[in-house]
């Protein structure tokens, strides 16, 4: 997770306040407005309930203390201000302690539709609404504990589980409608519409299958996996994930559904 980035995180003052420029607030407002029409149509019910709980401001970047007040009341979680990209070790440590890492910068207008690095809009608008949900919170906590105890090689496989659930997961609701719960989709106006189109392959959740599926962070995802409800995350918590990682390592990866990065013009 830690690599070169063009973005610089902002740090809170001694009162915990982060000072953003008017231009940065305008970017938040524009991103928020772009998703105002998409989210009610495409987001899952649990996300919409969380968004209502958080009552995020549309015209400015919220302070982390505002988010913490709601998360603490609903699930006992809090946020943690971090740089643009952090190590796997730090990431797992935070989740294992029920602290969600929030990169305290916002994307440039040149990367408005899709951003490789997780910015504050991605973290707060994309993920924090679901952190008010007990099933999502329990899954995130257990994931952190698993990752903290895993080897470097095992963490590579665990990253795929997070990618195809928390970041880019879909839900096939009881009425068979396809909805989004992945924060990587919900924080991206471009990927929201793409994920709900007929372009990507959509498959039901299968732990071994997911652990064997390669992905790239710099493209729209060619494949998504669905769960039946947000409560299904509790079923994943009960699974022997690390045994599945061992099995996936033995079986090897599926052929990627995308071109290698070096061959992409």
Q: Using DSSP bridges, classify how beta strands 178-180 and 170-172 pair: parallel, antiparallel or unpaired.
A: antiparallel
Cβ neighbours around 213 below 10 Å, total = 22
Cβ neighbours around 105 below 10 Å, total = 22
Per-residue pLDDT of the chain (265 residues; tens, 9 = 90+): 445 577 889 988 999 899 999 999 999 999 999 999 999 999 999 999 999 999 999 999 999 999 999 999 999 999 999 987 899 999 999 999 999 999 999 998 888 877 778 899 999 999 999 999 999 999 999 999 999 999 999 999 999 999 999 999 999 988 889 999 999 999 998 899 999 999 999 999 999 999 999 999 989 999 999 999 999 999 999 999 999 999 999 999 999 999 887 654 3
What's the full length of the chain, in residues? 265
Concatenated DSSP letters of 204-228: E--HHHHHT----TTS--SEEEEES
pTM given for the model: 0.94
> Which domains, from first to last, does the chain contain?
22-263 (1.10.800.10)
Token look-up 């008010």 returns 132
Predicted local distance difference test score (pLDDT) of residue 262? 66
What Å distances lie between residue 227 and 165, 182, 186, CA to CA? 9, 11, 16
Please check whether residue 128 is in contact with residue 71, taking contact to mean a CB–CB distance below 8 angstroms: yes
What are the residue numbers of the active site?
A: 122, 127, 167, 187
Concatenated DSSP letters of 94-158: HHHTTEEEEE-----GGGSS--SS--HIIIIIIITTGGGSHHHHHHHHHHHHHHHHS-HHHHHHH
- Please give the Cα distance from 130 to 123 (Å, whole number): 11
Predicted local distance difference test score (pLDDT) of residue 111? 84
- Please give the Cα distance from 177 to 66 (Å, whole number): 33
Q: Which helix (H) or strand (E) holds 78?
A: strand 78-82
């Amino acid at each position: 997770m830690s690599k070169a980035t063009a973005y610089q995180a902002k740090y809170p003052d001694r009162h915990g306040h982060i000072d953003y420029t008017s231009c940065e607030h305008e970017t938040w407002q524009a991103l928020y407005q772009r998703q105002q029409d998409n989210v009610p149509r495409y987001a899952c019910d649990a996300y919409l309930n969380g968004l209502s709980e958080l009552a995020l401001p549309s015209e400015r970047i919220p302070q982390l203390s505002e988010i913490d007040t709601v998360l603490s009341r609903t699930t006992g979680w809090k946020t943690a201000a971090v740089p643009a990209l952090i190590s796997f070790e730090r990431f797992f440590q935070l989740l294992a302690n029920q602290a969600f890492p929030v990169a305290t910068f916002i994307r440039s207008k040149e990367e408005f539709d899709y951003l490789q690095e997780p910015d504050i809009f991605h973290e707060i608008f994309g993920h924090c609404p679901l952190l008010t949900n007990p099933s999502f919170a329990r899954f995130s906590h257990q994931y952190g504990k698993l990752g903290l105890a895993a080897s470097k090689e095992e963490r590579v496989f665990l990253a795929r589980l997070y990618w195809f659930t928390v970041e880019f997961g879909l839900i096939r609701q009881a009425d068979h409608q396809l909805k989004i719960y992945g924060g990587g989709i919900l924080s991206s106006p471009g990927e929201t519409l793409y994920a709900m189109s007929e372009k990507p392959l959509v498959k039901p959740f299968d732990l071994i299958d997911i652990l064997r599926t390669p992905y790239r962070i710099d493209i729209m995802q060619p494949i998504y996996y669905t769960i039946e409800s947000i409560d299904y995350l509790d079923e994943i918590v009960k699974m022997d994930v690390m045994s599945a990682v061992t099995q996936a390592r033995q079986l090897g990866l599926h052929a990627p559904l995308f071109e290698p990065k070096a061959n992409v013009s």
